[in-house]
Structure 1
């Protein structure tokens, strides 16, 4: 969740001290690139003034994920925003929590679609049992076998985080959910530590854990209001585009959320203002129909932003998008383009994976190796052919 003034501040800071662009990450954060060392202090001060650093000691561990549609609808059972805000407050208030690993993440799922991302360390996922709301308690991607009462959920997840730190010292292992869940003694130690919060419950239904990438206009729980979801090409907006979103949100009293598909949700917009808003953003190059070819395509920083990259993958991703532009969107269609074999920006389960080599691209489709050292033209032809064979997504 981010305010219009904060969004405008980031855009201004990017113009002054970075490359004039802002990236949205798969953790729903913002990233600035090409910052010179001499400007770093000024940039940090600007972020602090905008309210981004309520606790510098805890900044890297305030990783709390929920649906970008929380409180807006989209099939949710429970509005998770109060839980997120209270968890953030309590994280900051506990000095010991600053010792969590920098990428340790909490997830609170209020039901409905859960948008694709890597598994989090500790997850609370709402379930309705005998007309009572409970949270499934999940460590890494492993269901604990238990639920937690809603009124005790934050007590439980915070205690679990503390125990993860203790387990790290006791077992000399990373304090990460997936790692702990893979070691029976460590998992048993964690569950024993939070046993007073745990109650029996049915296993979760995993059918709603991964959803498509939304683009367009979506109804909300409030009549005459909607959520607008533009397509953000490769998760990157210019400072000018970001300023435009900030101005629109301020003028229409909208609600801005950053999304794990590296996009933005502009919530609580009046239906009468939709056409005007979409026209303003489309004039700035931000699409709402998902037919510009970028839908489902992700790329790492490439050679313009990373010394390890063997080629300019962002340029090549744009060329692929132009090849695919105008086509109907396919369900589950994803392409990941990486500048080296590390595949830093890789998302789980990409339909097509392009990995740059010294002589072109290696290609995998649906996890299967297809070819190596392909020219860009050849690999684009293969990816386009793959997309054409997928079933067409039908929108209601």
Structure 2
């Protein structure tokens, strides 16, 4: 299937958006989502953009090299990390789609062209590296990806539909995914649909979770997604995500999932929180996870965590991460993990990354500072938010507008594309070098996901 022409839309990848308190999204979606992909490029002011889905954010060394080559030969020489652990290539020539697709096929990065936009799977980035957690989410991610790509029904999922596979520590469970698998220490897995999750904030909709054996977790996640498609179709709304369902449809979703799992022969257990859960209930993750720096592994190796400034890496910086012939894990907080390093090699690479401008120190004022593309790449942006963010960091000892240390996100317009979940400072360009500044609170309470009423213009 040849790549299509760039789609005339201009969106960065955005995290889940919660409905306003007291309201449920029940408007009819009149069209399919316009999310770009590796084959469906979209047109931005700086050229075509491709978004590559990378389940669990995992890249082999060879795959990472191919992406660097593609960015250098076909794009603007940079790789942008997204809030789902995916990669975007910008500044592409509109006619390069065929060459890009060939490169990705050769690196096994396009296992199914029909499914390439629906392979949105995030997983606990440190699973299997730091000795914590209770489930092999990397194995689940590989199996779920295989099942997705083999499912004809799954091609109907929106490019925004999200799976989160949490090894029990509660990190990616806080991202408000449509289907979440949460590992438990008793060898079972909680299967949670978006309507269950505190981050989604559907008023008056709270139904029990269900649990399944760990061996059945990937299949349960796929079946839950297929049930969503059935429920969304019956609602007549064209919902792209669970949070878009009308309240009545959302109330029946988990019951429908339970029925489907039982029919498929998957044992379904009650989903109470229980004392054997690997982690307490999910909570907002207010800062990038994990912290930058070395992370010791039980086998004596070291994983190295680093963050590119504003989630953007030059090809030279990207290749520096590959000097130890290791693969990469990209995180939903726009970070990179290099696993399996010898301690001496990790120390040397850490120094090189620091010199190259990556964030490697938990005390860096860059940590937690994010931004959308802004000008000149986005036609809707009212400011060069990247330049403004950099200038603000240069002037500040720590991120935040009032010394509170909250993550800060700079948006070029009111759409706030790519804005993080959890508590953060929200800076939105209003034009003429001015920004509206507010503190976005996400407290897991009944009125959570509100920005503070007080906002200032600066």
TM-score strictly above 0.5: yes
Per mean C-alpha deviation after superposition, the further-off stretch among 135-144 and 10-19 is: 135-144
> Which of these residues, 307, 315, 320, is aligned with residue 392 of structure 2?
320
Equivalent positions of 1:131-142 (< 5 A) are: 132-140=186-194, 142=196
In structure 2, which of residues 289, 297, 304 is the aligned counterpart of residue 220 of structure 1?
A: 297
2:438: which partner in 1? 364
Secondary structure of the corresponding residue to residue 33 of structure 1: strand
1:147 equivalenced with 2:207 (yes/no): no
Counterpart of 1:199? 269
Structure 2 residue runs of 5 or longer lacking an equivalent are 1-57, 198-207, 441-450
- Alignment partners' CA distance in 2, 1:161 and 1:371: 38
Determine if the alignment matches structure 1 residue 309 to structure 2 residue 384: no
CA–CA separation in structure 1 for the residues paired with 2:404 and 2:216: 38
Q: Identify the structure with bigger relative contact order (alpha carbons < 8 Å, sequence gap 6+).
A: 2
CA shift at 1:369, angstroms? 4.8
User: What does residue 288 of structure 1 align with?
Assistant: 360
Correspondence 1:6 to 2:63? yes
For residues 257-299 of structure 1, the C-alpha deviation after alignment (integer angstroms, 9 at most, x for no partner) is: 0000001011111112222111222232223114442101110
Between Structure 1 and Structure 2, how many residues are aligned? Answer: 365
Q: Which residue of 1 aligns with 2:351?
A: 279
TM-score norm. by structure 1 comes to 0.85
Residue in structure 1 matched with residue 251 of structure 2 by the alignment: 184
Q: Is the contact made by 2:307 and 2:334 (CA closer than 8 Å) also made in structure 1?
A: no
Correspondent of 1:18 among 71, 75, 100: 75
- 1:334 aligns with 407
Alignment check: 8 A CA contact 1:97 1:162 kept: yes
* 1:92 pairs with 2:149: yes
* CA RMSD, 1 decimal: 2.4
Residues in 2 aligned to 1:348 and 1:257: alpha-carbon distance in whole angstroms: 20
d(CA) in 2 for partners of 1:54, 1:136? 28
Structure 1 CA distance for aligned equivalents of residues 313 and 306 of structure 2: 11
Query: Residue in 2 aligned with 1:379?
Result: none
Q: Render the CA deviation track for 1:130-164: whole Å, top value 9, x for unaligned.
A: xx311111101516332111122223222222211
Structure 2 residue 396 is matched with structure 1 residue 345: no
Asked if the contact 1:104–1:120 (Cα under 8 Å) also holds between the matched residues in 2, the reply is yes
TM-score (norm 2): 0.74
* Distance change (3 Å), C-alpha of 1:208 and 1:124: same
Cα distance in structure 1, aligned partners of 2:422 and 2:453: 14
**Runs of at least 5 residues in structure 1 that lack an aligned partner in the other structure:** 375-396
Tell me how far 1:331 sits from its aligned partner.
8.5
Distance 2:283 2:294 in 1: 21
Equivalent position of 2:224 in the other structure: 160
Q: Distance in 2 between matches of 1:121 and 1:60?
A: 15
Instruction: Give the Å deviation of 1:175.
Output: 5.1
Query: Which structure carries more helix by proportion?
Result: 1
Match of 1:236 in 2: 312
Counterpart CA distance in 2 for 1:118 and 1:181 is: 21
Separation of aligned partners in 1, 2:240 and 2:227? 9
Q: Which moved more, 1:207-216 or 1:27-36?
A: 207-216
Residue 91 of structure 1 aligns to a residue whose secondary structure is: helix
| Partner SS state of residue 91, structure 2 | coil
